[in-house]
Structure 1
Amino acid sequence: MQAVMSDNGTFYYSIQGTAEGTSYSIIYQDDYDRDFQPEIEALLSDFEKSMSVYDENSVISRINRNEDVETDIYFESVFNKAKEISAITEGMFDISAEPLFRAWGFSSQQKNIPDQDKINALKEFIGMDKIMIENKHVIKTNPNIVLNANAIAKGFSADIIAAFLEEHGCGNYLVEIGGEIRMKGENTSGEKWRIGIDRPAEDNPIPGQDLQVILQITDKGIATSGNYRQFYIENGQKITHTINPATGYPVKHNLLSVTVVANDAITADAFATAFLVAGIDKSMEWLEELTEIEALFICDEEGEYKMYCTSGIENNLIPV
């Protein structure tokens, strides 16, 4: 734990570590000089035992193997939110789309392009309407249904840590887990928190190294999804990891990056993925109804990066 004195003389504490196959970074203001890292890591470990597909004994892994396992509050919270956002986004967000990612080589070592017959076969057991929770058990219409909640789970874990900090009287904090963020109050300069949005270029592999813009905001959850870092070239064709569950194919549009601001990080995380799949036009249609969500889109227009955003965050952007 590292201590940093703010401009008004109070102390902020910074902790870093690894969780959910990624890194986390947390800064919080505390009047009692408390080191919360052991408790935070215990919370993150418990969350992984529920939602990590990398832990073969986690709840979600056992569900994927069709074992008789009861759901817990973490799984149910993530699942219910995923189902809700899947319905709003017409299936563009779907945690049951994991078999498609495997087929395209994004959840496996083998990189290959599946044929239409393979995609059609996989789509038979993809869809949030094919799975439900009853009496703390997951019911599938097809045993081949496999779930992966990575596109929403990190956001929820940030919300969990934020709730812990608030319970312990921390009014100023920023929680970042794998790029998904939940913040409240002020930074060490007594201002709203500043969040850097990366320039969505293939030659910009390190987050925070080359920024497109800075977003100054607080008391919100923020998540960014992009398709410019995870891709491969097969037979001269660029295959991105952003796959449309409805078609079974990687998307082909000029939207490179989406940043979503919502009241919590779980919502921001899921919608950022859905918007990246759907593209800017469809996303803007949804945003007209989603009054508590703001978004920033970065598109490739003839080799130039163009930004579009909803009116609610337009005045929070700081050029770099």
Structure 2
Amino acid sequence: LSTFDSNSYISRLNRNEAGLPPDTFFLKMFAMAQEVTEKSSGAFDITVAPLVNAWGFGFKNRETITEQLIDSLRQYVGMDQLRIEDGCLIKKQAGVMLDGSAIAKGYGVDVAAEYLESLGVKNYLVEIGGEMRSLGLNAKGSSWRVGIDKPDFDQFNGTRELQMIINLSGASLATSGNYRNYYMEDGKRYAHIIDPRSGYPVNHSLLSASIIAPTCMEADAYATACMVLGLDSGKLLVESLPGIEACFIYHGEEEYQVYCSPGFPLDEESGN
């Protein structure tokens, strides 16, 4: 599922190799991607790769951005560009490319967690790059306690401060933010969260979205969808999804503000 592995299914598909039957891993990821795309009204879309590449956040070199370039690339974006036929994934146009980075890491957590469960493990915390899934209790017999970072645009100061601590058990957590992967140009900051609908990096008050969901794949994808939608539309999306909770950190008038949905599992002992 990695675009940085030249032998992965997605990489071969992006090179337009013919007759590639998708494996079980891809089909499961693809089904979830379709669902999240539909429920988020296109805010999440794995066909965003041409735009991500153009802005310099993908697996190809950054291009000189013009309105004409973005308009030309948007024709390749949209889940309607893909269909599964006779056991193969078919692209409507050769220029369609996939980027699973906003869902694949979460799916990897699920695969590891489900393997542990198949072995009869009843207490675990699986974490890959900040995305995690847990079950049962920790070694002290307590709920798993995990931290959510406070947004910090200084990538090189070597420090990390937690915004809050939560209890996580029998659920998954994924966070998406625009404060780590970005570049500055002509005094303007361009973050890696690209809106598939407009073709441009998002520019709003939301700094990070942390999502609790039954699976980490869901949490991962919906975290990205909320980052694209922004604070108000992100709240509406979460409210429409049973079993999904969210914590949004955003720019207030003078400092960071925090919104948590009613069921978000804050750790009361930590003073959140």
CA distance in 1, matches of 2:155, 2:58: 22
For the aligned residue pairs, the C-alpha RMSD in angstroms reads 1.8
Q: CA deviation at 1:217?
A: 2.0
The percentage of counterpart residues that share the same residue type is: 42
Aligned to 1:98: 49
1:89 aligns with 2:33: no
- Is this contact kept in 2: 1:112–1:234, CA < 8 A? no
Instruction: Supply the distance in 1 between the matched residues of 2:40 and 2:86 (Cα, whole angstroms).
Output: 27
Task: Detail structure 1 runs of 4+ shifted over 6 Å in the superposition.
Answer: none
- How many residue pairs are counted as aligned between the two chains? 270
**1:134 Cα deviation (Å)?**
1.8
Larger radius of gyration: 1
**Structure 2 matches for 1:104-119, cutoff 5 A?**
104-107=55-58, 110-111=61-62, 114-119=65-70
Are 1:57 and 2:7 counterparts? yes
Q: Structure 1 stretch 129-138 or stretch 104-113: which is displaced more?
A: 104-113
The 2-side partners of 1:141 and 1:257 are apart by 34
Tell me, yes or no, if structure 1 residue 186 matches structure 2 residue 137.
yes
Residues 267-306 of structure 1: CA distance to partner in whole angstroms, max 9, x if unpaired?
A: 0000000001100100111122212100000011134111
The verdict on how the C-alpha distance between 1:220 and 1:208 changes in structure 2, with shifts beyond 3 A counting, is: farther
More strand by share: 1
Corresponding position of 2:203 = 252
Q: In the superposition, relative to structure 1, how do residues 142 and 206 fare at CA in structure 2: closer, same or farther (>3 Å)?
A: farther
Query: 2-side partners of 1:99 and 1:207: how far apart?
Result: 32
Instruction: Kindly provide the CA deviation profile for residues 56-94 of structure 1, in whole angstroms up to 9, marking residues without a partner as x.
Output: 111111111111211000010111110110010011001
Could you tell me which residue of structure 1 aligns to residue 172 of structure 2?
Answer: 221
Equivalent residue of 2:212, what SS?
Answer: strand
Deviation at 1:195, TM superposition (A): 1.1
Q: TM-score, normalised by structure 2?
A: 0.94
Q: Which moved more, 1:54-63 or 1:261-270?
A: 54-63
If the length of structure 1 is used for normalisation, what is the TM-score? Answer: 0.81
